[in-house]
Chains A and B, each alone.
Chain A
Amino acid sequence: MDLFNFQTPRSIPELIAAKNSANAWLLAGGTDLIPQLKEDRRKAETIIDVKKIAAMTNISAEQDGGLNIGAAVTATTIAQSEIVCASYPALAYSVALIGSRQVQNRASLGGNVCNAAPSADAVPALMSYGALANIEGTKGKRSLMVEEIFTGPGRTVLEQDEVLASITLPALPENTAAVYQRFTPRREMDIAVAGVSSRITLDANSKIVDAKIALASVGPTPLRAKAAEMTLIGEVPSLKLFEAAGAAAASDASPIDDTRGSADYRRHLVSVLCRRTLASATKELIQGDLP
């Protein structure tokens, strides 16, 4: 780790100005950045601590029933937030999978998103909920679907002058449930070999009217499983349907072979986890066993 400048802006405009003027990395929890700097896997002229910016460290309810989470809010804060647990339980569950308890006390939601790791635990749930990434820069603000900000492993659409300020979770329709499950050989301190978040919305006749399925660790970025979603729309939940959705999700995935698992195994896991998450989400909405 070399010498670097350290800045602590108090507002988002100050942050944007600082980031735009230097080869800088933003520091929230530092759970990825600090080890990378220490091991010389990343060089920095300037480190900008974003934790002193109030707008980035708050969770606030939106007027329309949605929820805004500052990019620097910690995983533990989110996991323990009553409103998150009540309205977006798949997010509360998935942030509590990041690293270990100690890591969760530091790690931020924005960091988990902006690192753009295909395996990021918080991201599939955000994608299933249809979350928006609120980006601010010198030219103003823009909001993208969370999945739109990834361009490759470790890469995002964020420009030099831009920062992720917050994430907005939209208000969800009635009869909506989402579940995230990942597969890791270890119970904690591990990275998903594959992860699937499935969200479904049912109508009054228990037909699936909306489905958003997001996959982790099976492509260069977190992915939406569009073919799997199409399989589900307009159908009534059943084990057979979810098997078919799982098979479709496996074909949506484009995994690689690496030390954490082979591409074939990852595809297989996607089908298993897709089926299981859909069954589990349905269980929250419909009493009794699936046909």
Chain B
Amino acid sequence: MPEEFIQHANPKGSLETIGKRLPRIDAGKRVTGEAIYPADMHLPGMAIAKLKRSPHAHAKILSIDTTKALALDGVLAVVTAEDFPDLEPGTSVPMGQGSCDVWMVGQINMARHKVLWVGQPVAAVAAVDKHIAEQALELIEVHYEVLDAVFTMEDAQAETAPILHDSIRTSGLDAPINKPSNICSRTIFERGDCDTGVTSSHAVTEVSVSIDTAHQGYIEPQAVVAKYDREGLTTMWVSTQGHFTAELVTAKILGIPQSKIRVIPLEIGGGFGGKVFVHGEPVAAKLSEKSSKPIKLVFSREEVLQGGSGPTAAMQAKVTVGANSDGRINTLIAKVHVDAGGLPNMSPAIILQVLAALYQTPNLFLEGYDVVTNKPRTEAYRAPGGIQAAFAMEQAIDQMSEKLDMDPLNFRKKNFAVTGSIMPAGTPFPCIGVQEIAEAIAKHPCWTTPLEPGEMPRGRGLAFGYWRGTSMTSACHVTISGDGRPMFTLGSVDISGSSTAMAQVAAEQFQMPLQDVYVATGDSKSVGYTDIAAASRVTRTMASAVVDASQKALDELKIRAATLIQRMPSELTYDHGSFRTADVGGPSISSAEVMQSTLTQGAIVCHGISTDLPFGVEVGAHVCDVEVDEDTGQITVLRYTAFQDVGLAINPAAVEGQIEGSVVQGLGWAITEGFDYGDDGRLRNASLLDYRIPTALDVPSIETVLLQKPVPGVPYGLRGVGEVPIVPVAACVANAVYRATGARMTQMPMTPERVLTAIQANKTN
């Protein structure tokens, strides 16, 4: 057993609760409908809010007249951008090692001076019921000066393109240009000499891809209840990936001290990156202040899709790979354009890193551009940029292996990064089981069993994925109840079953059955600052905080126990709820007895904090078999196997669930999803009928293979788990489609019509 596992094991050196397949501690209330989401909330006197949204993709707001709306019987308050402080561009609040751009989030919540996409809010109303609120929206008169708009990155970069933001100058250029641009930044990672690399390569191959915007597809639309009270405190019940960030950002947007907001996170019906920012929370808070009523704001599905929430970034990428005759990659060139939507700063840096992280090459030139267009500001989605980057890179790798007449797995094995090799950003590649995954695939029936022929062409695809994740900071505290059992309050919301995992860690630490530990998420005024639940960080970092708090609490218990049985603390060992001495027949005392005797001498309250834990880098690889209907272009996924180094699976059932769910999301984006914008910038498929998230009938049974190679220096060796399993999916399917049909997929999603076109073009050539 590796050191990281043993370090926190019980006295017998084994793990008892960690590693067990357990149902989620909140499964019952979730499946019975008892779990409370913001949309379930009802407070006495509560009013309903609705947002008026821009019908234009690009327009100046000349005036907004709310007189008629305010005069309507039952209308309680109206707000526009005028009700919020005019924040300077660049205004931010801290988030992890970086910051959160509050000016940008403010624009997502309420447009000021200008609208930048269809669906951007321009005003909001609170009324006694939904119908009156909807009527009032019609009575708000907004005068616009409609401007030319750009919807594609090509158009946005044209010399004569209408400019979205006069203040933007392209950063990162070799020779700065002092002229407004829709290209916000250029990012470069470079080493060696790619020109020489290409000319000296035995084989060179190139793949160009274009990827449509997709939505995270969380089932619960954005929802908030806000209540402003007489004392000037605003309480918000939210569905969020980070209630502290929601509090910081909302306070800044409202221009009030953070201490005047309390954020209570309720259940979250999926986030996947889309609920990191606030969408309507500051507006609901302001309406509550103006109306003196509790306010409920719930988005409709159409609002979520039509500009009310940030989908993920569209991307274009061109990848060139050069290799020597011995099968070693010698050059890697990539040019990536990322579509940020209407507001800037979708940095391509992480995408470039992810694109090239898994392979070694002496010559490297990666170039990324952040481009604005008149579409909703894009936001994070599960390993943001990862699946897009891999769609380009892993197809190029597949193509090169074929060109060299090498097995695609062996070609990769020859070129994988190794611990300590230098990644694009200049950092060393971590210790992770890349080769172990390759070995596992080489032995697995999904790879070794020949593909059975069907009525239609079939192919098998392989793709790898890398994701870094992050650590940031997590806090919790524990108190010991009168029966000696620990009660934990966590600063993190549970988007992935993390609370169950934390209960397992706590149970392991206290050597108690799972049901004897209490774990709950605290609100923003009852637990210490914790960063967002995102970037595969919560389970790892909160586990570290729980271990920290547990050790401190056990130490305090031990001191009390030692006093009670008149021994030195150093003589005592903690074993399954009791403190014992080493001598046979010596005294022992249970933690329940300790607390019964000492409860009124003062509480035991211990905190745990995890900051800047080593990254829990994730690597996974997928193998799939597909069948392609060459008459219709329809792809059927027959078999799917996902391999992943998970460090240590605290709850293998939950880890497998994360991987399976991730693959399903990836298949959706790979095959049937994708935003379809019309010429007017309106989303044409703004419903779940036409935005086709896969149903249960559309996905095969997904097999998972977990490998466990611990992260050095992290309690239990935990890695991130939840993001990387979406990264390889589209490339894996594309590689399988290529093997089936001979057609390279350059567009994602690979809709039937696009697949058919690719097949026909391939046959013509």
Residue A139 at the chain B interface, CB threshold 8 Å: no
Residue B525 at the chain A interface, CB threshold 8 Å: no
Question: Which of A187, A188, A259, A262 has the most chain B CB within a 10 Å cutoff?
Answer: A259
Residue B692 at the chain A interface, CB threshold 8 Å: yes
- A259 and B694 contact, CB distance less than 8 A: no
Residue B516 at the chain A interface, CB threshold 8 Å: no
Of the 9-residue stretches B179-187, B226-234, B468-476, B750-758, which lies at the interface with chain A? Answer: B750-758
Partner of A40, one of B134, B676, B753: B134
A216 CB to nearest B CB, Å: 15
Q: Which residue of chain A has its CB nearest to the CB of B686?
A: A259
Residue B40 at the chain A interface, CB threshold 8 Å: no
- A258 and B684 contact, CB distance less than 8 A: yes
Complex Cα–Cα for A263 and B580 (A)? 79
Report chain B residues within 8 Å CB of A186.
Answer: 672, 692, 694-695, 697-698
- Residues 80-104 of A at the B interface (beta carbon under 8 Å): 100
Interface residue tally for chain B (C-beta within 8 Å): 23
B118 CB to nearest A CB, Å: 15
Residue A45 at the chain B interface, CB threshold 8 Å: no
- A189 and B684 contact, CB distance less than 8 A: no
Residue B685 at the chain A interface, CB threshold 8 Å: yes
- A183 and B131 contact, CB distance less than 8 A: no
- Residues 680-722 of B at the A interface (beta carbon under 8 Å): 684-685, 689-690, 692, 694-695, 697-698
Report chain A residues within 8 Å CB of B697.
Answer: 186-188
Complex Cα–Cα for A265 and B751 (A)? 12
Residue B258 at the chain A interface, CB threshold 8 Å: no
- B753 and A265 contact, CB distance less than 8 A: yes
Q: Which residue of chain B has its CB nearest to the CB of A38?
A: B300
- B671 and A185 contact, CB distance less than 8 A: yes
If the complex has contacts A187-B698, A188-B695, A189-B695, are A259 and B756 also in contact, measured as CB distance less than 8 A? no
Complex Cα–Cα for A217 and B717 (A)? 55
- A265 and B756 contact, CB distance less than 8 A: yes
Interface size grouping (class) on chain A? 20 to 34
Report chain A residues within 8 Å CB of B196.
Answer: none
Report chain A residues within 8 Å CB of B684.
Answer: 258-259
Report chain A residues within 8 Å CB of B632.
Answer: 183, 269, 272
Report chain A residues within 8 Å CB of B92.
Answer: none
Q: Which residue of chain B has its CB nearest to the CB of A275?
A: B631
- A185 and B751 contact, CB distance less than 8 A: yes
- B753 and A190 contact, CB distance less than 8 A: no
Report chain B residues within 8 Å CB of A13.
Answer: none
Residue B634 at the chain A interface, CB threshold 8 Å: yes
Partner of B676, one of A185, A187, A188, A259: A259
- B 735-765 to A, binary, CB cutoff 8 A, 1 in contact else 0: 0000000000000000111001000000000
- A2 and B690 contact, CB distance less than 8 A: no
Complex Cα–Cα for A258 and B752 (A)? 15
Report chain B residues within 8 Å CB of A2.
Answer: 131
- Residues 104-145 of B at the A interface (beta carbon under 8 Å): 131, 134
Complex Cα–Cα for A98 and B751 (A)? 22
Complex Cα–Cα for A264 and B86 (A)? 50
- A190 and B689 contact, CB distance less than 8 A: yes
- B751 and A272 contact, CB distance less than 8 A: no
Residue A261 at the chain B interface, CB threshold 8 Å: yes
If the complex has contacts A186-B672, A272-B632, are A191 and B685 also in contact, measured as CB distance less than 8 A? no
Report chain A residues within 8 Å CB of B676.
Answer: 259
Q: Which residue of chain B has its CB nearest to the CB of A271?
A: B631
- B753 and A259 contact, CB distance less than 8 A: no
- A259 and B698 contact, CB distance less than 8 A: no
Residue A43 at the chain B interface, CB threshold 8 Å: no
Complex Cα–Cα for A258 and B676 (A)? 10
- Residues 357-378 of B at the A interface (beta carbon under 8 Å): none
Complex Cα–Cα for A260 and B689 (A)? 10
Report chain A residues within 8 Å CB of B756.
Answer: 265, 268
- B690 and A260 contact, CB distance less than 8 A: yes
- Residues 175-198 of A at the B interface (beta carbon under 8 Å): 183, 185-191, 193
A80 CB to nearest B CB, Å: 20
Complex Cα–Cα for A111 and B489 (A)? 53
A186 CB to nearest B CB, Å: 5
Q: Which residue of chain B has its CB nearest to the CB of A187?
A: B697
Complex Cα–Cα for A91 and B631 (A)? 25
Report chain B residues within 8 Å CB of A260.
Answer: 690
Complex Cα–Cα for A190 and B631 (A)? 20
Q: Which residue of chain A has its CB nearest to the CB of B676?
A: A259
If the complex has contacts A185-B672, A185-B752, A272-B631, are A191 and B689 also in contact, measured as CB distance less than 8 A? yes
Q: Which residue of chain A has its CB nearest to the CB of B668?
A: A186
Question: Which of A2, A262, A268 has the most chain B CB within a 10 Å cutoff?
Answer: A268
Complex Cα–Cα for A39 and B134 (A)? 11
Q: Which residue of chain B has its CB nearest to the CB of A40?
A: B134
Q: Which residue of chain B has its CB nearest to the CB of A1?
A: B131
- B634 and A189 contact, CB distance less than 8 A: no
Complex Cα–Cα for A40 and B50 (A)? 15
- B671 and A189 contact, CB distance less than 8 A: no
Report chain B residues within 8 Å CB of A185.
Answer: 634, 671-672, 692, 751-752
Q: Which residue of chain A has its CB nearest to the CB of B671?
A: A185
Report chain B residues within 8 Å CB of A259.
Answer: 676, 684-685, 690
Complex Cα–Cα for A2 and B131 (A)? 8
Report chain B residues within 8 Å CB of A39.
Answer: 300, 302
Report chain B residues within 8 Å CB of A193.
Answer: 752
Report chain A residues within 8 Å CB of B692.
Answer: 185-186, 190
Question: Which of B671, B751, B752 has the most chain A CB within a 10 Å cutoff?
Answer: B752
Report chain A residues within 8 Å CB of B690.
Answer: 191, 259-260
Q: Which residue of chain B has its CB nearest to the CB of A194?
A: B632
Report chain A residues within 8 Å CB of B300.
Answer: 39
Complex Cα–Cα for A183 and B634 (A)? 9
Question: Which of B302, B632, B634, B752 has the most chain A CB within a 10 Å cutoff?
Answer: B632
B432 CB to nearest A CB, Å: 36
A86 CB to nearest B CB, Å: 27
Q: Which residue of chain B has its CB nearest to the CB of A260?
A: B690
A78 CB to nearest B CB, Å: 21
- Residues 187-213 of A at the B interface (beta carbon under 8 Å): 187-191, 193
- A 36-62 to B, binary, CB cutoff 8 A, 1 in contact else 0: 000110000000000000000000000
Question: Which of B131, B631, B671, B697 has the most chain A CB within a 10 Å cutoff?
Answer: B631
Q: Which residue of chain A has its CB nearest to the CB of B635?
A: A185
Complex Cα–Cα for A260 and B690 (A)? 7
Report chain A residues within 8 Å CB of B631.
Answer: 272
A221 CB to nearest B CB, Å: 20
A31 CB to nearest B CB, Å: 12
- Residues 134-177 of A at the B interface (beta carbon under 8 Å): none
- Residues 239-291 of A at the B interface (beta carbon under 8 Å): 258-262, 265, 268-269, 272
Complex Cα–Cα for A264 and B436 (A)? 48
Q: Which residue of chain A has its CB nearest to the CB of B629?
A: A272
Q: Which residue of chain A has its CB nearest to the CB of B636?
A: A187
Complex Cα–Cα for A183 and B756 (A)? 13
Q: Which residue of chain B has its CB nearest to the CB of A2?
A: B131
Report chain B residues within 8 Å CB of A187.
Answer: 695, 697-698
B578 CB to nearest A CB, Å: 54
If the complex has contacts A186-B672, A188-B697, are A261 and B689 also in contact, measured as CB distance less than 8 A? no
Complex Cα–Cα for A39 and B632 (A)? 34
A9 CB to nearest B CB, Å: 28
Report chain A residues within 8 Å CB of B672.
Answer: 185-186
Given contacts A191-B689, A260-B690, 19 further A-B contacts (CB under 8 A): A39-B300, A39-B302, A183-B634, A183-B752, A186-B692, A186-B695, A186-B697, A186-B698, A187-B695, A188-B697, A189-B689, A189-B695, A190-B692, A193-B752, A258-B684, A259-B676, A262-B753, A265-B753, A265-B756
Query: What are 10 A-B pairs at a CB distance below 8 A?
Result: A185-B634, A185-B692, A185-B752, A186-B698, A188-B695, A191-B690, A259-B676, A259-B690, A261-B753, A262-B753
- Sorted nearest first, the 10 A-B pairs with minimum C-beta distance are A187-B697, A259-B684, A272-B631, A265-B753, A259-B685, A259-B676, A185-B672, A186-B692, A187-B698, A188-B695
Residues of B in contact with A (beta carbons under 8 Å apart): 131, 134, 300, 302, 631-632, 634, 671-672, 676, 684-685, 689-690, 692, 694-695, 697-698, 751-753, 756
